[in-house]
Chain A
Amino acid sequence: MEGSIAIAETVRLCRPQVIPAYPITPQTHIVEGLASIIADGRLDAEYICVESEFSALSACIGASTAGSRVYSATTSQGLALMTEVVFNSAGMRLPIVMGIANRAISAPLSIWNDQQDSIMMRDSGWIQLYAEDNQEAIDMHILAYKVCEDHNILLPAFVCFDGFILSHVYEPVDIPSQELVDEFLGPFNPYQKLDPKDPISFGMYATPEYYMEFRYEHDQAVHRAAEAIKKYGKEFGEMFGRDYSELVVGYKLEDADIAIVAMGSICGTVKDAIDEMRADGKKVGLLNLRCFRPFPSTDVAKALAHVNTIAVLDKNVSLGAKGAAAIEIKEACYGSNIPVYDYILGLGGRDVRKKDIKKIVELAEKGEGDMFYGLREEVL
């Protein structure tokens, strides 16, 4: 089944009551799929054809404050257009789940994959989960609703999956039964909602005496989300047979000398490359960052404590600094003296193959890093 359709079918099982969405490549098949599902009477939900992404997320805020479970999906420029509403919905502490089919940001215009779009929203106060394959992408949608709607958390979440590489690829997936998803999620139980009989205003302004306290409480909630993801990830595993109790997942990492750290679908390629390097006697392992916000600093430091070199693969770049993941990995490993090398790669859909991963490991062994990997010198 195509990744986007698998996601649409899974969102159906989560029973969102309102879906405001605006199509944009490579997210289109998801919202197209959901529109068909609703038109065919397979999901009792209000599908709002909005005129822009700004309106899409604004309608999500309206529906969520009115007490509905909501879903939307977007990518790249669509997410950029939503920016103001992304921060608003987070500050209003609304449990909105949104799929992000990761795509590069203009200019230059590119519809192809990298992770700059969701990384751009790093500081917005949304939870950010990154799927390695389509099974994870659909599981994380169900898990995200469970975490977000916890009254101790009350945050929105991005479920990020690489555009085209996952969204348009056909993979076998296990779509859970409606009964199990109903049992896991239960009906939406809003913490507070708009009700004419008991009026309340959301997202009021805060004077200098209160603003910092709101930001502090928001920050605390994002930190608390780490434990909530682990707890519900474990419950998810017990119910559905696939465990999500870890925010970082190692692959052949226990005895590794060199650790590769990566997010998203690239982890599949890295695992294959590691198998081949292991066959050649190289002790390489992978740390898959499943969750970027909250950032699992302690888990990262613990998982990487024994290695002697760390190579971080970033499908994004904070221009003028480094890749977003590398900056955080360095922070997590501060004081350990393990060298952390950053490799910016795969931007705007540039393919990353097993041979590239092997080349990066060779560079890291030589102490060469903090670079754009795979530049075509002849066109510079």
Chain B
Amino acid sequence: MALGIGCTARPGNSRNNKTGSWRVFYPVMDTEKCTKCGTCQLICPEGCIDQNPDKTYSIDLDFCKGCGMCAEECPDKAKAISMVMEEK
């Protein structure tokens, strides 16, 4: 992305600005354990969890800020999401 003078942005710019850069922990989804309940998608404040054709879920790490709410809210019987420290 070239810098716009005065920090200007054209429409649709948020697709180009990857806002996941300041994450400390990132979520890892274990699709074997996942019960496909959809709680993680509902709870994600950034709307970056999408359902796959096989009804499991995947997380868009370009925009995930690593808040950990999906891992916290994933039902006890599944616990399919774990948070892992970012290595930079």
Contact = CB atoms under 8 A, between A and B. Distances in A.
Nearest to A206: B7
Contacts of A154: 5-6
Given A207-B17, A207-B21, A208-B22, A92 B7 contact: yes
Interface in B11-27: 11, 13, 17, 19, 21-22
Nearest to A93: B6
Interface in A170-219: 191-192, 199-210, 213-214, 217
A96 to B, nearest CB: 12
Contact of A192 (B1, B5, B13, B22): B5
Contact of B7 (A199, A203, A208): A203
A292 B1 CA distance: 34
Interface in A293-316: none
Nearest to A192: B8
A233 interface: no
A91 B1 CA distance: 18
Given A207-B19, A209-B21, A213-B3, A199 B8 contact: no
B5 A217 contact: yes
A24 interface: no
Q: Interface size class for chain B?
A: 10 to 19
Contact of B11 (A199, A203, A209, A217): A199
B7 A214 contact: yes
B10 interface: yes
B9 A214 contact: no
B5 A199 contact: no
A338 to B, nearest CB: 40
Majority secondary structure, B binding face: loop
Nearest to B11: A199
B15 to A, nearest CB: 14
Contacts of A93: 5-6
Given A199-B11, A204-B13, A91 B19 contact: no
A235 B53 CA distance: 68
Contacts of A217: 3, 5
Contacts of A199: 10-11
Nearest to B5: A93
A94 interface: yes
Nearest to A90: B6
B5 A191 contact: yes
Nearest to A198: B10
Contact of B3 (A92, A202, A210): A210
Interface of B: 1, 3-11, 13, 17, 19, 21-22
Q: Considering the complex of A and B, which 4 residue pairs feature the smallest CB-CB distances, nearest first? A: A93-B6, A92-B6, A204-B9, A201-B9
Given A209-B21, A213-B3, A214-B7, 11 more contacts: A91-B7, A92-B6, A93-B6, A154-B5, A199-B11, A201-B9, A202-B7, A203-B7, A204-B8, A204-B9, A206-B7
